[in-house]
Each structure stands twice: as structure tokens, then as C-alpha cells.
Amino acid sequence: MQKGKIGVSSDNLFPIIKKFLYSDHDIFLREIVSNAVDATQKLKTLAARGETAVSVENAKVRVSFDAEKKTITVSDNGIGMTAEEVEKYINQIAFSGANEFLDKYKNDANAIIGHFGLGFYSSFMVSHKVEVITKSYKEGAQAVRWECDGSPEYILEDAERAEVGTDIIMYVNEESEEFLDKARLNEILNKYCKFLPVPVVFGKKTDWKDGKEVETEEDNQINDVAPAWTKKPVDLKDEDYTSFYRQLYPFGDDPLFNIHLNVDYPFELTGILYFPKLKNTVEVQKNKIQLYCNQVFVTDSVEGIVPDFLTLLHGVIDSPDIPLNVSRSYLQSDSNVKKISSHITKKVADRLQEIYKSNREDFEKKWDDLKIFIEYGMLTEEKFEEKAQNFFLFKNVDGKYFTWEEYETLIKDNQTDKDGNLVYLYTNDQDEQYTFIQDAKNKGYDVLIMDDVLSAHLINKFEQKDPKKRFVRIDSDVVNNLIQKEEESDKLSWKEREELSPVFQAVCPANNGVHYQVDFKPMGESGQPMVITRNEFMRRMKDMSKLQGGG
């Protein structure tokens, strides 16, 4: 047996670590299980290369607990460690990592509250003693046992272990006894380990017999080793995306559509994002995207990590370039994370454009659900706004949809104010403003619906971008002024009346001539007054007077 002292400067680090990590004790299991998964993957890699004859086919990670002995054990059939490797990886690397961590953050305790893992070492957050029993895959390796009670002193000795692999046995401390509970462990495993790439087993599956829950022979595997985002888009059908969505959010409505992210360069990133169907825009739920690092759950609080408007989306982002063992504030300032964020923005915009282009009808159908994301994105991300010009839609009170360009064409002859600005009339409450809407429609104007929580901001943005565009609410005085002014300007000056009087006399029957002089609106063919601008009216009159002169 060998006794040693771990090379750290502080006599006892654990109280400090515990204090720092207080808010997030449950990550210990993520760290220990993901180490077991790593060890298994390493052995699989070696086996695939023919560098070991150890069987990896049924390799599983097993999590168990013993309420009486107050232990939680994580066992794997991975590569294991030799005595030298335990010295190197457990004693030195893990602990030097802790030292580095302390150096870095000793003046900045707040920065690390939240998501922070410290690998193997985090087991001491919940344990007064940790034991490692491990046997390396290397031929003739002697199994060893390492034990440490949280002080820098450790024990390393020969041990018995039939198979290659590692057991990590955590002797749970008094404050952490909540973890000696099936439901609690299930909850943590579900949160962090649900999509790990190696089967993780927690107890046996249960069945109901005579109203009682009984254990079956079958392993209770808690994870899906090949979640949809790890597959190629060509291998997935619409149903696969939908069923993966249900796996993530069992109680949600089916999503509108998805975006499969698959990037190799300049960073690695995979994932599937979903546009959720919202029941109403007020109850928009943020922070549904789950962030993974090599299929290990990192966080579902992605604010500050992805652009704000994308926090409205659902789904999964997985990138080995998203550092696992760091604080939130570090994540937010990390340059990789920033690159990832702008890349996703671009992808989302491209996908929207693609859907718009390939199936406008479908896009219009989904617009009412989609628009809140798009509007939010336009308001908050310049790059996104540029692209959104191509697929942003206006909807009018008749339920018709228009692109920017289309709408401009629609109103440009008919809805301008005296300064030549385009006037976009809109309603934010179709019931309340019903009569105003009807009035405007009778006058031949078009009225848009802009009634969601972001409309006011969006209007602001549009007007700022192009001061030649005015958005006028249908029931505001401004509309009246606008319309009155136009009517005002439709009236002919006395001089003009004098000039035109002979023309009226000559071309129109007497009463019509009078009519013109009263409201100065020429009659259309149906006998209804035509709505045309004053200039247009004058032009027509002059044409007629020329005709008269000529005839």
C-alpha cells in the first residue's frame, strides 16, 4: 500500500470548492458518469483499431446507490487505469485543475456560481470519501484501489477487480443525503445524461403487477445513445424530427418546422432547432434550447449565449467547442460561443428564406405563429434584419399577405401624404377600430394588421429606417388629417374653377358639371365618385380641354 500527499498548496481544498459550487451540487453525477462514458468510448476506439481484445460490445455504465451504506457507485467497462495512471490523472491532473481553478477565481467567487464542473473532483461536493477501484485494459494490469477522504492525503493499493473498467464509489456526506434517493437520481440522470452515447443503466425496469410496482429482469437504460441531432439530415424523416421534439418536450404541441444544424468548420456544431407553435404571443416561453457538449447536457439557460430572439426557439445545440467546465460569464464571453451564435442566426435566416421561397403558401399559413420570432429577430439582430427583408410579410385586414415590395406597389399610388410619404395604415384592434377600418376601405385604402406585442417597436424601426414611410393607426386623428388634407387639396382654387368652368360647361351635362364644382370628384363609370388625386383630376380636365379646343 502506498500513502501519498496530493500536491496542492492548500491543506484542504474541499470546503472552498463546496462553497463555490453550492448552487449546483447535482452536476457531480454528470461529471462522474461522463468520465465513465469517455473511458468506454476510448476503449471502443482502441478495439475498433484492433489495439485491444477486450470486448466492448456490451459496455454499459451502471449507476447504483445503497441507502444503508450511503454510497453512490458509478461503474464502467471502459479502459480503466493503471496505478501510474491513477497517480497521474486522478492525483495530479484533477487536483492541479482545482488549483488552477482556485487561482483563477479566488477573487471572483460570483463569476463561478452556476454552471461549473470540475470533473472527477466534483464528487467531493457530495462525498466525505471517494474510492476508485480500477483495472486497466492493458495486458496483465493489476487492479488498484484509490481512496481519499477529502484531505490532500490519499491511499493507493492493489485490489481485486475481475473485469477491465472502473468503479467510482462515493460515500455520501450528511448534507447530501438527498441524493440517496431513486427519484432524485433519476431526475439528475434525466437532466444530464439523457443523450449520452453509451448506455447508462440505473436499476431495473419496473412493471405493474396487481397494483404493485415490481422490478423486471431488464436493465433500466435511461438514455438514448443516438439522438436525432447526431444523425445525418438525409437519414431523417419529418416524423423523426417530430418524435425527437416530443422526446424533448413531451407536453408541447408539434412544432412548425425544424432547422438541422450541421457544421464542421470553423467549429464543430450539430443540433436541431424547432420553431414552436405558440398558443398566444404573450406567453412566449424563453430558454427552451438545451445546450450540449458531446451529448452531455450543459445548460438550458442559453440567454447571452445565443442571440436573444433565438431563445424563443426550442431544440438542442451540441458543440464540443462549447466549454463544459466553465462558468456562465465565461461562456458568454467565449469567442467560440460568439461565432456559434452568429452562425446560428445566419442558418435560421437562410432556412426561413428557403421555406418562404419553396412554399410560400405554407409559409403564409405559418406566418401568424412565426412572425413573433421574425419580428423579434429583426428588432434585435441587424444581420437577421437584413435577411428578413426577403421574407417578412405584412398581413392586411382581409387576411392577405404581402412582402415589403408587394405592399409598396399596392399603396404607392393611393396612400401618400402631401409630402409624398407612403402612408401605411394599420389597426391594432380590429374589433374596436371596425368602423374606422370600414371607412378607410370604402375610401379605397388598405389596412394592415399590426397588433402583436412587438408591433409598436417594429413600426418605430421601419420609420427610422426609411423616413419616407409613415405608419398611421387607423383611428388616430392623423388619419383624418391626412384624408381631410387630401380632400382639401382636391378642391380647386377659384382661379382654377374659373379656368375650367368653360370645359365643364362643354363636356359635362349641366348637373354633372355642378356636381364637379361641388365636391370636385369626377364620377366613375358606375356613377360612384372615383377616388383620384387632385393632380390626376387636373390632368384629365386639361386633356379634355385640349380635346375641346381641338374639336
Q: Is 37 in the site for ligand ADP (CB under 6 A)?
A: no
At how many degrees (to 10) do helices 360-380 and 335-358 cross? 150
Site string for Mg ion, 227-266 (x = CB under 5 A): ----------------------------------------
| Beta carbons within 8 Å of 156's beta carbon, 6+ residues apart | 1, 2, 3, 4, 83, 86, 87, 144, 145, 146, 147
Quick one: CA dihedral 508, 511, 513, 515, positive or negative? negative
Interaction residues for ligand ADP, span 91-130 (CB under 6 A): 93-94, 119-121
Q: Is 373 in the site for ligand ADP (CB under 6 A)?
A: no
> CB of 18: closest distance to ligand ADP in angstroms?
16
Interface with ligand ADP (CB under 6 A), residue from 76, 318, 381, 486: 76
Type of residue numbered 538: M
Q: Is 35 in the site for ligand ADP (CB under 6 A)?
A: yes
Residue 76 known to bind ligand = yes
Interface with ligand ADP (CB under 6 A), residue from 13, 21, 27, 36: 36
Candidates 34-42, 203-211, 315-323, 532-540; binding stretch for ligand ADP (CB under 6 A): 34-42
Residue 420 known to bind ligand = no
536 grid coordinates: 390626376
Q: Is 54 in the site for ligand ADP (CB under 6 A)?
A: no
For Mg ion, the closer of residues 325 and 390 by Cβ is 325
Type of residue numbered 378: M
| Beta carbons within 8 Å of 161's beta carbon, 6+ residues apart | 133, 134, 135, 143, 167
94 binds, among ligand ADP, Mg ion, none (CB under 5 to 8 A by kind): ligand ADP
78 binds, among ligand ADP, Mg ion, none (CB under 5 to 8 A by kind): ligand ADP
Q: Is 315 in the site for Mg ion (CB under 5 A)?
A: no
- Answer left, alpha or beta for residue 492, where phi above 0 means left and psi between -120 and 50 means alpha: beta
> CB of 32: closest distance to Mg ion in angstroms?
8
Question: Within 13 A of 235's CA, how many CA atoms are on the CB side?
Answer: 7
For 273, the 3-state DSSP assignment is: strand
Residue 186 known to bind ligand = no
Q: How far apart are CA 7 and CA 243, in angstroms?
A: 50
Interface with Mg ion (CB under 5 A), residue from 30, 52, 112, 119: 119
Q: What is residue 232's DSSP assignment?
A: -
Short-list 544, 452, 461, 445, CA closest to 499: 544
Residue 455 known to bind ligand = no
Q: What is the largest CA-CA distance in the chain?
A: 124
> CB of 178: closest distance to ligand ADP in angstroms?
23
Q: Is 245 in the site for ligand ADP (CB under 6 A)?
A: no
Candidates 73-81, 145-153, 245-253, 487-495; binding stretch for ligand ADP (CB under 6 A): 73-81
90 binds, among ligand ADP, Mg ion, none (CB under 5 to 8 A by kind): ligand ADP
Q: Are 56 and 37 in contact (CB under 8 A)?
A: no
Residue 497 known to bind ligand = no
CA distances from residue 107 to 110, 182, 462, 483 in whole angstroms, order as listed = 9, 38, 46, 66
Q: Is 150 in the site for ligand ADP (CB under 6 A)?
A: no
> CB of 78: closest distance to Mg ion in angstroms?
12
For Mg ion, the closer of residues 119 and 377 by Cβ is 119
> CB of 20: closest distance to Mg ion in angstroms?
18
Candidates 35-43, 220-228, 294-302, 431-439; binding stretch for ligand ADP (CB under 6 A): 35-43
For ligand ADP, the closer of residues 132 and 437 by Cβ is 132
Interface with Mg ion (CB under 5 A), residue from 27, 30, 35, 449: 35
> CB of 8: closest distance to ligand ADP in angstroms?
14
Beta strands at 288-293 and 314-318: parallel, antiparallel or unpaired:
parallel
Residue 81 known to bind ligand = yes
Q: How far apart are CA 156 and CA 83, in angstroms?
A: 8
**Over the Cα atoms of the chain, what is R_g?**
35
Q: What is the 3-state secondary structure (H, E, C) of 439-450?
A: HHHHCCCCEEEC
Residue 409 known to bind ligand = no
Residue 97 known to bind ligand = yes
Q: How far apart are CA 496 and CA 487, in angstroms?
A: 16
Task: Write phi, then psi, for 494 (nearest 5 degrees).
Answer: -60, -35
Residues tagged in the binding site annotation for ATP: 31, 35, 76, 81, 96-97, 166, 328
Contacting residues toward ligand ADP, per CB under 6 A: 31, 35-36, 39, 76, 78-81, 89-90, 93-94, 119-121, 166
Residues tagged in the binding site annotation: 31, 35, 76, 81, 96-97, 166, 328
